Amino acid sequence: MTEAPADLEDRQRVDRWLEESQYLLGRLIPGYLEDRERLKARLAGSEADCQRLRLEVDGLRREVSGLLAELQHQRNEQAATAETFATVLGQLSDLQKPLTEVHRRLQAVHAPPLNGAHAHA
């Protein structure tokens, strides 16, 4: 007979655990489901942001590539212009030598005599 009250006591304890477990699960499971839905929404938003950023990065890469090509073109143009300018300066320098010689000779021809004969005229 001592076993009957112990069995009854064990059964009551198990029943209480089941009730408490059902109560806790009834509160926890909806919370977990809400958390799951919230996290799924955040994940979807993050994936959309990631895709948008990938497209933006691809566009920026294309833009940078175009700008680099334009920069290289401008550098090539600048180098060609500098080379042409150096050639022109060289030609002007070559022309200046005979002009300087002509100028020197003209000055020698039109120079007043050293004795000052033209000074009194």
pLDDT digits (tens, 9 = 90+) for 67-78: 999 999 999 999
Q: What percent of the chain has pLDDT over 70?
A: 88
What ranges do the domains of the chain cover? Answer: 3-77
Q: What percent of the chain has pLDDT over 90?
A: 62
Task: Among 23-37, 53-67, 78-92, name the one with the lowest average pLDDT.
Answer: 23-37
Give the three-class secondary structure for 84. helix
Q: Determine contact, residues 112/119, Cβ cutoff 8 Å.
A: yes
Q: Can you give the pLDDT at residue 24?
A: 87
Continuous segment of H or E residues that includes residue 116: none
Task: Say if residue 20's pLDDT is above 80.
Answer: yes
Task: Say if residue 63's pLDDT is above 90.
Answer: yes
Distance from C-alpha of 3 to C-alpha of 75, rounded to nearest angstrom: 101
DSSP structural state of residue 101: H
Q: Report the C-alpha dihedral over residues 30, 33, 35, 40, rounded to 10 degrees.
A: -160
Distance from C-alpha of 35 to C-alpha of 42, rounded to nearest angstrom: 10
First to last CA, the chain: 164
Distance from C-alpha of 16 to C-alpha of 23, rounded to nearest angstrom: 10
Q: Can you give the pLDDT at residue 114?
A: 61
119 Cβ contact list (under 8 Å, min separation 6): 112
